[in-house]
């Protein structure tokens, strides 16, 4: 009873602070972004990645939103919402540049922008339907690492993209377990499953919000700027949360692992990295770099020699990682078959990775004078890309080993190399390096370039999950929007004289 009484004034204080923020001039970008999120949620009913047969819209007599003039209206609402959210983000970015934005502003704004999207249909991706179908496989006694969703005939299959119905799950046991529990609770109800699965992403967002400021302060960076880059970024708010992507869990767990390791709790850090890898394998890139951090701590605080410190940190990391991963695999009742399914991304062909981009360029240029087998060229460029990754990652690991900052720089560069040179990428893949980059690169130039790049990726993809990279009109539109975003922030006034930018 005492606890509840003492908590009441604190709760009222938080609500009073939030209300004061909501009606203040400081919250104008938050209120504008809220409007944008509402428009996205409304437009997403018709123009988002909606179900092929949607009894919910039919029962509400709103199926007309998905066809003809209704689809045009829905598209206008959704794209209008995206434009409004981008403007709100850029407006807030100008405050990041002059360092007048506080950490609390970023946290409160996240809530404003997120709430409407929690109620929206999936936008810019249909992956949530694949997640549910894969979870149903495990629920119904199938091994999702051996068979694709097509083997488990149910209504969920109606909404899975055809190329993924025969593909085995490329996700780790922790995420497959989450998807299984969601389908156990809601059955084959796609609407309920989508909403619940999106709620399951919230812990990832919460961990990202918790960890990012800690990592930023550890490195002497601005926590508010870091949150602007990797939490309020439309690629996170709209794609990861609005689109329902398991990257949200993976990135949040990975950043929490880095924060814990930097904070002197490497055992927990390795455990969090293992859990992140059990969602999606990419998080494993951070582990070798965190071994350097643990090694230095053993050397500097416990008097270990460099070699014994490295040996202990490496061995302990392997044991902890293996134990956590084994437990999660046992709980899910699956093995390591998901690793072979990672190659399924070769089915994706777009310009977001250099091997595919080069293959397209070669096809376009050489094809004017002689016949070119595009897929043969693509296979060669992708092999070269994998070779570049295999050579570059160990070199980065060895080069960036001397300080905590270097370890994070190495992690960021390694993730950047992977995203750029893997056979195929999707827009939300770029949230991997953005999370760690947010605490390293915060100058006006950096903020402007990140804004331009994020805007281009946001606009080049369509609300139904397809991309417009082969449409000159959409490429021109995305490039124009990106240039405008870059210009607005590259000309933003910088930190006023005498302002230390440390307000929270």
Distance CA 52, CA 4 (A): 48
At residue 461, what are phi and psi to the nearest 5 degrees? -95, 150
pLDDT value of residue 344: 62
**How far apart, in whole angstroms, are the C-alpha atoms of residue 117 and residue 121?**
8
User: Confidence class of residue 455 from pLDDT cuts 50, 70 and 90?
Assistant: very high
Cα 148 versus chain centre, distance: 24
**Distance between CA atoms of residues 292 and 310, nearest Å:** 7
Residues of the chain with pLDDT > 70, as a percent, come to 92
- pLDDT tens per residue across span 209-221: 999 999 999 999 9
Provide the pLDDT confidence category of residue 336 given band limits of 50, 70 and 90.
confident
Residue 259, CA distances (Å) to 106, 118, 174, 321, 407 in order: 19, 27, 21, 17, 12
Contacts of 173 (CB under 8 A, 6+ apart): 278, 325, 328, 329, 331, 332, 334, 338
Evaluate if residue 115 carries a pLDDT over 80. yes
pLDDT at 56 over 80: no
pLDDT over threshold 90, residue 321: yes
For the record, the structure tokens of 410 come out as: 């190495």
pLDDT digits (tens, 9 = 90+) for 129-166: 999 999 999 999 999 988 989 998 888 888 888 888 88
By the 8 A CB rule, do 453 and 469 touch?
no
Q: Minimum mean pLDDT among 181-190, 360-369, 428-437: which range?
A: 360-369
Does the pLDDT value for residue 94 go beyond 80? yes
Alpha-carbon distance of 449 to 433, in angstroms, equals 14
Instruction: Name the strand (E) or helix (H) holding 143.
Output: none
Q: What pTM did the predictor assign?
A: 0.92
The answer to whether residue 36 scores a pLDDT higher than 90 is yes
> What mean pLDDT do residues 469-473 have?
84
The residues, any chain, with a CB within 8 Å of residue 125's CB and separated by 6 or more, are 49, 239, 243, 244, 245, 426, 428, 465
Quote the pLDDT of residue 80.
96
Residue whose C-alpha is closest to residue 423's, from 382, 376, 378? 382
Reduced to 3 states, what is the DSSP secondary structure of residue 68? Answer: helix
Task: For residues 187 and 133, give the distance between their C-alpha atoms in angstroms, rounded to a whole number.
Answer: 11
Site of tokens 């794209």: 79
Residue 368: burial class (beta carbons within 10 Å; 0-12, 13-18, 19+) = exposed
Average pLDDT over residues 38-62: 75
pLDDT in tens, 374-419: 889 999 999 999 999 999 999 999 999 999 999 999 999 999 999 9
Determine the angle formed by the axes of helices 28-47 and 68-97, rounding to 10 degrees: 150
pLDDT range class, residue 52, cuts 50, 70, 90: low
């Amino acid at each position: 009873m005492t606890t509840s009484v003492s908590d009441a004034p604190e709760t009222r204080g938080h609500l009073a602070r939030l209300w004061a923020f909501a009606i203040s001039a400081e919250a104008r970008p938050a209120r504008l972004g809220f409007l944008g999120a509402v428009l996205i949620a409304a437009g997403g009913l018709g123009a988002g990645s909606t179900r092929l047969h949607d009894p919910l819209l039919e029962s509400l007599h709103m199926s007309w939103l998905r066809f003809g003039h209704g689809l045009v209206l829905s598209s206008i609402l959704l794209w209008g919402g995206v434009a409004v959210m981008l403007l709100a983000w850029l407006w807030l970015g100008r405050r990041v540049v002059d360092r007048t934005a506080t950490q609390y502003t970023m946290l409160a704004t996240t809530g404003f922008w997120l709430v409407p999207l929690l109620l929206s249909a999936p936008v810019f991706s249909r992956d949530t339907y694949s997640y549910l179908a894969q979870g149903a496989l495990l629920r119904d006694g199938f091994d999702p690492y051996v068979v694709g969703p097509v083997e488990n005939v149910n209504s969920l299959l109606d909404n899975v993209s055809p190329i993924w119905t025969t593909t085995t799950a490329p996700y780790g046991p922790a995420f497959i377990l989450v998807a299984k529990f969601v389908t156990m609770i809601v059955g084959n109800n796609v609407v309920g499953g989508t909403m619940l699965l999106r709620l399951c992403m919230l812990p990832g967002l919460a961990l990202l919000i918790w960890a990012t400021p800690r990592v930023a302060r550890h490195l002497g960076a601005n926590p508010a700027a870091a949150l602007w880059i990797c939490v309020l970024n439309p690629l996170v708010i709209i794609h990861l949360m609005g689109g329902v992507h398991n990257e949200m869990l993976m990135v949040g767990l990975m950043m929490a692992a880095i924060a814990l390791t930097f904070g002197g709790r490497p055992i927990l850090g390795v455990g969090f990295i293992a859990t992140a890898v059990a969602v999606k394998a990419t998080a494993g890139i951070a582990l070798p770099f965190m071994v350097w951090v643990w090694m230095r701590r053993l050397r500097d605080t416990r008097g270990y020699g460099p070699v014994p410190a490295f040996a202990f940190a490496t061995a302990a990391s392997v044991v902890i990682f293996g134990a956590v991963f084994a437990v999660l695999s046992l709980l899910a009742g699956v093995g390591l078959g998901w690793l072979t399914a990672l190659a399924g991304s070769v089915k994706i062909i777009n310009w977001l990775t250099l091997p595919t981009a080069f293959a397209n360029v070669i096809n376009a240029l050489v094809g004017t004078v002689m016949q070119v087998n595009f897929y043969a060229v693509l296979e060669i460029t992708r092999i070269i890309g994998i070779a570049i990754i295999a050579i570059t990652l160990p070199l980065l690991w060895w080069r960036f080993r001397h300080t905590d900052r270097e370890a994070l720089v190495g992690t960021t560069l390694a993730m950047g190399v992977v995203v750029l040179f893997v056979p195929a990428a999707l827009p939300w893949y770029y949230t991997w390096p953005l999370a760690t980059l947010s605490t390293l690169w915060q100058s006006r130039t950096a903020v402007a370039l990140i804004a331009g790049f994020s805007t281009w990726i946001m606009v080049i993809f369509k609300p139904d999950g397809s991309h417009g990279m082969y449409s000159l009109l959409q490429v021109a539109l995305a490039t124009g929007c990106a240039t405008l975003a870059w210009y607005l922030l590259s000309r933003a006034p910088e930190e006023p004289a005498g302002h230390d930018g440390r307000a929270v």
